[in-house]
Structure 1
Amino acid sequence: MAAAVARQLRTSVAPMVDVTDPCFLRLLRLISPFGNHQLWTEMVHANAFSRGQLHQNPAKLAQHIPLRELQDFAPHVVVQIGASAPDDAHAAVGRLAELGVRHVNLNCGCPSRNVQMGSFGAVLMKSPGLAAEIIGAMRDAARGSTCEVSVKCRIGIDDDESSGFLRRFIAAVADQQCSDAARPARIVLHARRAWLSGLSPKQNRKVPELNHQRVHEMVREFPHVSFVVNGGIDSVDAVRYHLARADGVMLGRKIREDPWFLAQLDQHVYGAPQHQIPSAAGVLAQYIQFADQMHSQYGTRYTILARPLYALFSGRRARAMRTHLGAAISRATAVPGADGSPTYAVPFGILVQDALRSAELEFRMRVGMLEPDAGADIGPREPETKQPAVAC
């Protein structure tokens, strides 16, 4: 890596629709309380701020922006926006900066049909001039604040995965970002091309072939740009490998499927002592406390609060918890509040504990166990702490 930019070996959790909501991000913070990782929100359309005035509705805002994390964790939170017009992007960044957001990212990589119809996401890579204008507007809105601006994109679009195509796009958006020497351009590169037709967003995350070497090539060609590599990275060894060749690593599906992987990185990449890694029981207890606060303050629905918990369990744990907690929530009596949000008679934490007991009882009856046994524990899985094997 070139020495022109102060390098920070950082890991990030990718923005994932219906996954990285404020509740899931809080769960990740409880699993990894050391501040080693950037946590990205789901994409929010800039129109929600410029025209919908989302920032003026705390209950709705709290469904998209981790307001509680901004109180003491703002430098580690990234809000991703989608925008097709500079004015909308300017308004969104201005509003987010006022809220205390320290980093806003422009989505130039989502290939979904709905996003394409809105003329943002991956289609912006076909119009590097427009993307540069949007970035310029975002940068202008962030001027005078501590808010950073960045871009997340693919390495190519449809049939064009050439170095020249990617180079032109990076040059256009990096020039806009580099107007302030104190804030070097920052680009997250998903090491797959995006197919704008013929593949679903889910298929676009798996079918296009990974090309990490193209990302490494851009790192060498643009020494004044800070690059984060994204796509298919799912082991400690892989994280180490890419951190030695780029400025950061972004993890997506790996964290969705196993959030405890952050604890492995804390130990084996950042050197956190094993005795400081939170316990599963402690994480669950703190999350329940957070969930009760979210419901009390913002009227967050129990179905939304429950969703991150399923990632804490594996195998039959996840299936049992999903079944019993889902049933308990559906039976819970809710009364509409003044703003229309539900108010439940039973605290969320009570429903979780009841679901745990029911799932454990179901398991014991299924295998014919008459006495408690360690194998019947259906509590959350403990973090993996052993040293990972070294890759060949």
Structure 2
Amino acid sequence: MNIIRQLRTSVAPMVDVTDPCFLRLARLISPFGNHQLWTEMIHANAFARGHIHKDPWKLAQHMPLRELKDFASGVVVQIGSSSPDDAHEAVRQLVKLGVRNINLNCGCPSRNVQMGSFGAVLMKTPQLAADIVDAMSLAARGSNCRISVKCRVGVDQHDSAVFLQQFISEIVERTRHVDESSIGVILHARKAWLQGLSPKENRTIPLLNYDRVYEMLRMFTNTSFIVNGGIDSVKSVAEHLATADGVMMGRKIQEDPWFLSELDHHIYGIPLEKLPLQSDVLSQYVQFADQMHENYCSRYSVLGRPLFSFFRGRKGRALRAKLTQALAKAKTSRSSKHEPRYSAQFSEIVLETVEKASAEHRLHCDSSQRDILPATTSQSNRKQMTACA
């Protein structure tokens, strides 16, 4: 079975999470190219009508431009669209930029997405979804770009195996411009409720139905399937990989990006001594953040957001509060909407804040537990000492 570049673990697309800054942090934590990194969804209109591809400043806020050159096959750009023409133009421009993996969102249940008639709404119109994928495939023809679809196992009252089978059949069988094996399907094992539940509740309240995912896998033997939803441990990743083509994790990585390091060690066999240290990752990230601000005027609040899940325990809580205050205080009165100005470099503010948080953290720990940065589970056996929680 073919899967997108044969990478078997993926970081799910998450709005206001998997921006270029978070993806850069994830790549620094796991520099081995083991995990597929997904952008947050970008509307196809941004390319077809907004011409975002002609504006590097805007594009850099949504896509990891630096990563495309170094890890083109390890980045997936997800688009949302209800128009085959817009989707075709978006893929055409993305291919020109060097993107090698593009996904159509057929699973988001948010109100704004519903108003645009895409996301999970497309599951109710499988012919339109197939037309969009068909147009995307045509735009990618002749390139090395792979097209995939991310959807739920059901939507509203349509949650039977027959309904899901018909939806997937429409996608893979009516795509004329590529063969069936090159269309990948990412299945979130929960159905979506378009009314009555928020996007957050849609990630927790509908029951997980992994059996439905594996039922589809048995029906479509020439289609690659990635399972998504509720996977939050090394054990569960390994169990799903024994059957599925791949595993996708979202909130687990958002809450603990160092879980990627655990997967590198336990799933991919990377020796402990080769895993990056937190101090090195932090140093490289703040350098990257300085460059993002200098080159693209990225706001400090956006640059700082990935660091909120970088530290754990008491020190993590102290850092989040202190960092939020420090970044807000650093913004000068001369700041404009399009060109924010700050009193100090991002790296200086972060490193100073980390030192203050470390000092506060040490007050609550025994002298034998003192360290500069808290260790992850996989690093606790290395040179760093485990910080108190």
Q: TM-score range by the shorter chain?
A: over 0.9
Shift in Å, 1:37: 0.6
What percent of counterpart residues are identical?
A: 58
Shift in Å, 1:360: 2.9
Deviates more, 1:333-342 or 1:12-21: 333-342
Deviates more, 1:334-343 or 1:81-90: 334-343
Residue 79 (structure 2) pairs with residue 81 (structure 1)? yes
User: Which residue of structure 1 lines up, in the alignment, with residue 297 of structure 2?
Assistant: 299
**1:243 counterpart letter in structure 2:** L
Q: 1:175-219 CA distances to partner (integer Å, 9 max, x unpaired)? A: 244743496220000000000101000000000000001101111
Residue 90 (structure 2) pairs with residue 92 (structure 1)? yes
Shift in Å, 1:278: 0.5
Q: Structure 1-normalised TM-score?
A: 0.92
Q: Structure 2-normalised TM-score?
A: 0.92
CA–CA distance in structure 2, aligned partners of residues 83 and 33 of structure 1: 32
Of 184, 191, 195, the residue aligned with 2:193 is: 195
**1:45 counterpart letter in structure 2:** H
User: Which residue of structure 2 lines up, in the alignment, with residue 180 of structure 1?
Assistant: 178
CA–CA distance in structure 2, aligned partners of residues 5 and 58 of structure 1: 33
Shift in Å, 1:264: 1.1
CA–CA distance in structure 2, aligned partners of residues 231 and 303 of structure 1: 29
SS in 1 for 2:32: coil
Structure 1: gaps spanning 5 or more residues: 388-392
Q: 1:285-339 CA distances to partner (integer Å, 9 max, x unpaired)? A: 1101111111111111111110001111012222211111111111214476899
User: Which residue of structure 1 lines up, in the alignment, with residue 137 of structure 2?
Assistant: 139
User: Which residue of structure 2 lines up, in the alignment, with residue 330 of structure 1?
Assistant: 328
CA–CA distance in structure 2, aligned partners of residues 164 and 89 of structure 1: 27
User: Which residue of structure 1 lines up, in the alignment, with residue 22 of structure 2?
Assistant: 24
SS in 2 for 1:186: strand
- What is the aligned-residue RMSD (CA, Å)? 2.1
Residue 36 (structure 2) pairs with residue 42 (structure 1)? no
**Does structure 2 retain, via aligned residues, the 8 Å contact 1:195–1:204?**
yes
Paired positions, count: 380
CA–CA distance in structure 1, aligned partners of residues 375 and 273 of structure 2: 17
User: Which residue of structure 1 lines up, in the alignment, with residue 122 of structure 2?
Assistant: 124
Residue 207 (structure 2) pairs with residue 213 (structure 1)? no
Closer, same or farther: CA 235–318 of 1 in aligned 2, 3 Å = same
Shift in Å, 1:383: 4.7
**Does structure 1 retain, via aligned residues, the 8 Å contact 2:151–2:186?**
yes
Shift in Å, 1:146: 1.8
Shift in Å, 1:9: 5.8
Residue 357 (structure 2) pairs with residue 341 (structure 1)? no
Closer, same or farther: CA 293–140 of 1 in aligned 2, 3 Å = same
Closer, same or farther: CA 262–237 of 1 in aligned 2, 3 Å = same
CA–CA distance in structure 2, aligned partners of residues 191 and 232 of structure 1: 8
Structure 2: gaps spanning 5 or more residues: 382-389
Of 109, 130, 150, the residue aligned with 2:107 is: 109
**Does structure 2 retain, via aligned residues, the 8 Å contact 1:5–1:223?**
no
Closer, same or farther: CA 337–75 of 1 in aligned 2, 3 Å = farther
